[in-house]
Amino acid sequence: MSSTPLALFVGLPHPTISDDEFALFRETNPLGLFVGRRNQREPEQTKRLIERFREAVGRDDAPVFTDQEGGRVQHLDAGPWPLFRSFGQFAELAHRDFDLGKKALRLSSQAMGAMMTELGLSSGCSPVLDLVFETTSAVIGARSFGPDPDFIAALGREVVDGLLETGNMPVMKHIPGHGRATLDSHKERPVVDASRQTLIATDFKPFLALKDTPWAMVAHVVYSAYDAELPASISPVMHDVIRNDMGYDGVLISDCIFMESLSGTLPERVAQVLDAGFDIALHSHGDVRESEAAAKAARPLTDTALKRIAAGKARLGNLKIDFRAVHAEVEDMFASVPVS
């Protein structure tokens, strides 16, 4: 096993790690694991799964991510865990009472972060900073705070800081903005034809405001004003836009390479992400055969990526809270100012 992890997150089809998967992870040393609903049944099982992955790669701090935004995107949605509200609901609360909305979102983010940290999960890949319009693909919907970039940035700050305080890594997504995409990048390749001036003034703006967020996930969306052919996640041009024009120096991970906005085999997709200059390819599904193929196409993390990862870890706090009690406090806030 290489001492430097591969620039790759792997996934699993089941709630346990098989002996073959354990051996593969031990041999190839992927940076991290991405777990979904299919992998998480109850707290002790989730903890064991995470511990077994970390044992396989020989790193107690190996990152394990999930999708845990709230609303319809929360992979900890089985009976043992409280259900969290969508960003759209927090936006509605904030429109009625801005200070209350921000406070509720900060507390909810702390509760969600504490819940994940207690399980051993490193991140829920949140917040979503995409704008939403009438024409936006339904894949975003209530995952967004709305169409106003300044409003999104203000609420997104509460999520980023609340997660950091509880030792959970925020990952802003989908940089540089999925909101003008009218197609679902899980199924098709969206093309955004807005001008550079429009994108900078709108879609890019929340990411610019929160560019101190340690990690960001890159959209599988074509921005034709910059690169007419390639989605941002595999575009060297868009890599340079994010790094240089937007000034983002945190960890850049692709959205899941299984999404059909990309083309080619899974190994080719891994290579496309890394060849474009991004730090990490996210391979969040897959069986052992697919994970082996992805690992062969990956390469060790660069020294620069390792420094970015370390800088992000140094920002994590250690706030301890009763996440169930705080979640209940948030629900009381919503009850005081009813929203849909």
- Tell me what the pLDDT averaged over the chain comes to: 96
Assign 338 to helix, strand or coil.
Answer: coil
Higher pLDDT, 251 or 137: 251
Average pLDDT over residues 167-190: 93
Model pTM above 0.85? yes
Number of independent structural domains in the chain: 1
Residue 7 included in any domain: no
Q: How far apart are CA 81 and CA 77, in angstroms?
A: 6
Which residue(s) pair with 30 in the sheet? 6
> Does residue 8 lie within any of the structural domains?
no
pLDDT at 63: 98
Residue 209: pLDDT band by 50, 70, 90 thresholds? very high
Q: How far apart are alpha carbons 308 and 183 in whole angstroms?
A: 32
Distance CA 340, CA 322 (A): 26
- Domain assignment present for residue 3? The answer is no
Q: Give the domain range for residue 152.
A: 13-336
Q: Is residue 105 part of a domain?
A: yes
Q: Mind giving me the DSSP string for 93-157?
A: HHHH-HHHHHHHHHHHHHHHHHHHHHHT--B----B-----TTS-TTTGGGS--S-HHHHHHHHH
Quick check: 282 pLDDT over 90? yes
Q: Is 31 in contact with 280 (CB distance < 8 Å)?
A: yes
Q: Is residue 85 part of a domain?
A: yes
CATH number of the domain that residue 275 is part of? 3.20.20.300
User: Which of 37-41, 77-81, 235-239 holds the top average pLDDT?
Assistant: 235-239
Which residues are known catalytic residues? 186, 255
In this prediction, residue 2 has a pLDDT band, given cuts at 50, 70 and 90, of low
- Per-residue b or e along 125-144, where b marks 16 or more CB atoms closer than 10 Å to that residue's CB: bbbbbbbbeeebbebbebbb
Of all helices (H) and strands (E), which one includes residue 9?
strand 6-10
In this structure, of 76-80, 89-93, 329-333, the range with the lowest mean pLDDT score is: 76-80
